[in-house]
């Protein structure tokens, strides 16, 4: 095309191209605040020239395409940092209430434990016969139990909240995955025309942004489709197909939700990270479960120590003390895939706590391989017991009773949670103030009872110690026949010979005059320990009340009396008070205060680290988003410049058309 018609034709293409460019610019400006919108640009190309009179004359321009500003590398950084920041935000927001619950000052378990000992036990130890002090101890015990249960219930509610939020996140992931697969299909259809569906491409990116807020994802492009994977390659979207997730119960702990594939039921929780789901799983695995276990260690240790000390003392009526606290027992959870689970749903194992000082706060897994049992510490991954075919094994303060091969099938496994339910089941058991065993079982006195009165006519310097509890018979020289009765009767130790060197004999008799034991003691040495067994089967299984007979000058007939501690005796209550600071946990290296302080410190540290991690993750996400906006976002200053440029081009093209029209009109007049 040449001449006037060529001028007009070329100008018309310029007019149309400018008009389309103005439309693209206007669309950019209109979407400056639209989330996920990528700036578009009209790409012009020169129309094919025409040979006229030996010359190639241009035919104007075409708008070849409308492209979007998109950088795949930067966008992948946005998805990655979004997932990390979302996970950090979820983890931190859910963690801080737990920090306040366990590590807050002025309230909570630490205060309740301190008040139980200082305002309860200590008052009874100082005033064992005072009814108000005894009632005050029961009130403090009730308050302690309520505080422990409240703390445990709040932790349990947090666990239930995690289950609910996991369900909500899975629902959102399924919805987003379905939408992404649908958009993949729409893009494939519309791209078949040769045009680029920019709006759909932006929509897909925005959907993946939202998906990354729920779980960390990896995006791989295959043709026009984006395939989306979570965790270690778990497919969520492949082409136009989405793979739905579901919530299922943990195969061991049915109260704990896991994320699984809806189609196969395969659990994938352990492979997921990032996003809200990653934050929730981290909170449960790194904070909540360990805190519940460690809280159980403390409450189990407190209850066991107090109950043990109660059993060693006497009530005002002279009977042995009964348990002061109850606590949740260890849990043994059968794997739902066990061969006999469908039939019985119950565990073939049993577990008991035999030494709270050995509890570690860890959970364990026992598995039968067809020939032997292997027990693994789930916290460390270390094997704590192996090689057993049946019977009992002991480790970390626990005794596990393992069934023989006829009761289990190869591959059967069980999870042991020794302390998870300890705090939740913690309760005060005493309601009668006179049930408090504040008195020691015996009080040692010099002399003998005559008509119910103590008469001291001893001439030597032999002494009988105040007495203490011994867990075993090691070091005890004479074990008396029988055991401490309920109520106990008075006993008398009488020297049967006298001397100032060598050794002398002695005999121990009951109030009725029956001989319970006899022995000898070396003068000037450490003495001879006499042991009286606490009730138990076999005798001595519950330990001994031990007294030491010693001295350097013995006179035949000198006597010592062991009388039951009366209502005014507070020796056993004093021993109870000492449990507050006694090293009764962590293998004898930590007190109750130490253990709770360690728990509070651990949770507080995790809370501080979570806040730091959130700040860093948020900064990285903000930086990545800023980079993405710099590359793909709408710049109004640039768009204003483009408006002027395309306006001028439009006006110039219109002017060229006007001139061409004028020339054509002149030509018509000339030849008309």
pLDDT in tens, 643-655: 899 889 888 888 8
Residue 579 lies in a domain: no
Whether 598 and 527 share a structural domain: no
Same-domain check for residues 173 and 89: yes
pLDDT tens digit sequence for 485-514:
888 999 999 999 999 999 999 999 998 789
pLDDT digits (tens, 9 = 90+) for 169-225: 999 999 999 999 999 999 999 988 888 899 999 999 999 999 999 999 999 999 999
Average pLDDT value for residue range 615-638: 92
**Between 120 and 57, the higher pLDDT residue:** 120
b/e map of 629-641 (b: 16 or more CB within 10 Å)? eeebbbeeeebee
What is the rounded CA–CA span in Å between residue 494 and residue 647? 123
Residue 523 within any structural domain of the chain: yes
Q: What percent of the chain has pLDDT over 70?
A: 98
Establish if 602 belongs to a structural domain: yes
> What residue numbers bound the domain in which 621 lies?
74-288+591-625
Q: What's the confidence (pLDDT) of residue 457?
A: 95
**Domain assignment present for 384:** no
Q: How many domains are there within the chain?
A: 3
> Does residue 586 sit within a domain?
no
Whether residue 644 sits in one domain with residue 607: no
Respond yes or no on whether the N-terminal peptide bond of residue 487 is cis (omega within 30° of 0).
yes
Alpha carbon 540 to its chain centroid, in Å, reads: 41
* Tens of pLDDT, residues 60-108: 888 888 888 989 999 999 999 999 999 999 999 999 999 999 998 766 7
In this structure, the answer to whether residues 494 and 539 fall within a common structural domain is: yes
Q: What is the pTM of this model?
A: 0.88
- Residue 122 belongs to a domain: yes
Decide: helix, strand or coil at residue 598. Answer: helix
* 80, 58: one domain: no
For the chain, the average pLDDT equals 92
Same-domain status, 184 and 212: yes
Q: Which of 421, 446, 400, 410 is nearest to 555 (CA)?
A: 446
Q: 386 forms bridges with which residues in the sheet?
A: 374
Both 278 and 148 in one domain: the answer is: yes
In tens, the pLDDT along 287-346 reads 999 999 999 999 999 999 999 999 999 999 999 999 999 999 999 999 999 987 766 665
User: What letter does residue 669 receive in the DSSP assignment?
Assistant: H
At residue 426, does pLDDT exceed 90? yes
Query: Domain for residue 547, yes or no?
Result: yes
Q: What is the pLDDT of residue 52?
A: 79
- 3-state secondary structure string, 435-448? HCCCECCCEEEECE
Q: Is residue 313 part of a domain?
A: no
Shared domain for 490 and 451, answered yes or no, is: yes
For residue 103, give the H/E element and its range: helix 72-103
Domain match, 50 and 127 both:
no
Q: Given the structure tokens 């018979």, which residue do they identify?
A: 473
Q: Are residues 135 and 183 in the same domain?
A: yes
**In terms of domains, do 42 and 78 share one?**
no
> Based on the domain organization, do 619 and 639 belong to the same domain?
no
Q: Which of 564, 579, 607 is the last residue of a domain?
A: 564
Helix axes 131-191, 275-282, angle to 10 degrees: 160
Give the separation between CA 476 and CA 495, rounded to whole angstroms: 18
- Could you tell me the two tokens for 605? 């540290």
**pLDDT band at 248, cuts 50/70/90?**
very high
pLDDT at site 107 = 63
What distance lies between CA 247 and its chain's CA centroid?
19
Higher-pLDDT residue of 417 and 345 is 417
* Percentage above 90 pLDDT, the chain: 75
Mean pLDDT of the region 4-29: 84
Write out pLDDT tens, residues 444-487. Answer: 999 999 988 999 999 999 999 999 999 999 999 999 998 898 88
């Amino acid at each position: 095309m040449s001449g006037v018609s060529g001028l007009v034709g070329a100008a018309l293409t310029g007019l149309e191209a400018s008009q389309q460019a103005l439309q693209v610019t206007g669309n950019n400006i209109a979407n400056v605040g639209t989330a996920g919108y990528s700036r578009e640009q009209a790409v012009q190309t020169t129309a094919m020239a025409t040979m006229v009179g030996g010359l190639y004359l241009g035919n104007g321009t075409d708008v070849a395409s409308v492209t979007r500003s998109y950088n795949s590398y930067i966008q992948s950084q946005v998805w990655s940092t979004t997932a990390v920041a979302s996970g950090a935000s979820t983890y931190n927001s859910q963690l801080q209430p737990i920090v306040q619950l366990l590590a807050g000052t002025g309230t909570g378990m630490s205060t309740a434990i301190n008040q139980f000992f200082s305002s309860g036990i200590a008052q009874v130890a100082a005033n064992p016969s005072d009814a108000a002090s005894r009632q005050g101890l029961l009130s403090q015990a009730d308050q302690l139990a309520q505080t422990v249960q409240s703390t445990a219930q709040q932790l349990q509610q947090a666990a239930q909240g995690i289950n609910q939020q996991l369900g909500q996140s899975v629902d959102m992931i399924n919805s987003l995955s379905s939408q992404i697969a649908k958009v993949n299909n729409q893009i494939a259809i519309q791209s078949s025309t040769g045009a680029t569906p920019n709006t759909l491409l932006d929509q897909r990116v925005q959907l993946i942004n939202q998906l990354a807020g729920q779980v960390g994802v990896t995006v791989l492009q295959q043709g026009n489709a984006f395939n989306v994977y979570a965790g270690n390659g778990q497919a969520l979207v492949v082409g136009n197909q989405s793979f739905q997730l579901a919530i299922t119960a943990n195969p061991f702990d049915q109260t704990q939700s896991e994320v699984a594939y809806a189609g196969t039921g395969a659990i994938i929780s352990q492979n997921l990270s990032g996003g809200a789901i990653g934050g929730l799983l981290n909170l449960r695995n790194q904070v909540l479960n360990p805190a519940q276990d460690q809280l159980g260690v403390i409450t189990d240790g407190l209850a066991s120590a107090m109950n043990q000390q109660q059993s060693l003392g006497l009530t005002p009526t002279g009977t042995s003390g009964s348990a002061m606290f109850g606590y949740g027992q260890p849990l043994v959870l059968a794997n739902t895939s066990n061969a006999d689970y469908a039939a019985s749903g119950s565990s073939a194992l049993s577990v008991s706590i035999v030494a709270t000082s050995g509890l570690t706060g860890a959970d364990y897994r026992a598995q039968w391989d067809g020939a032997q049992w292997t027990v693994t510490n789930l916290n460390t991954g270390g094997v704590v017991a192996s090689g057993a075919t049946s019977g009992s094994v002991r480790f970390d303060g626990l005794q596990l009773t393992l069934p023989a091969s006829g009761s289990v099938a190869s591959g059967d496994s069980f999870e042991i949670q020794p302390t998870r339910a300890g705090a939740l089941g913690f309760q005060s058991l005493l309601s009668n103030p006179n049930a408090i065993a504040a008195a020691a079982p015996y009080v040692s006195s010099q002399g003998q009872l005559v008509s119910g009165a103590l008469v001291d006519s001893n001439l030597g310097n032999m002494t009988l110690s105040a007495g203490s509890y011994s867990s075993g018979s090691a070091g005890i020289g004479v074990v008396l026949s029988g055991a401490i009765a309920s109520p106990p009767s008075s006993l008398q130790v009488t020297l049967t010979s006298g001397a100032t060197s060598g050794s002398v004999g002695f005999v121990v008799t009951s109030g009725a005059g029956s001989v319970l034991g006899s022995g000898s003691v070396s003068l000037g040495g450490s003495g001879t320990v006499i042991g009286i067994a606490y009730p138990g089967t076999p005798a001595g299984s519950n330990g001994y009340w031990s007294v030491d007979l010693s001295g350097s000058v013995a006179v035949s007939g000198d006597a010592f009396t062991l009388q039951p501690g009366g209502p005014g005796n507070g020796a056993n209550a004093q021993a109870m008070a000492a449990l507050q600071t006694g090293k009764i946990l962590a293998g004898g290296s930590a007190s109750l205060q130490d253990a709770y302080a360690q728990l509070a410190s651990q949770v507080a540290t995790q809370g501080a680290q979570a806040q730091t991690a959130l700040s860093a993750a948020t900064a990285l996400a903000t930086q990545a988003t800023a980079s993405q906006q710099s590359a793909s976002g709408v710049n109004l200053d640039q768009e204003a410049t483009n408006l002027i440029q395309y306006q001028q081009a439009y006006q110039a093209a219109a002017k060229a058309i006007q001139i061409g029209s004028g020339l054509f009109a002149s030509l018509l007049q000339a030849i008309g």
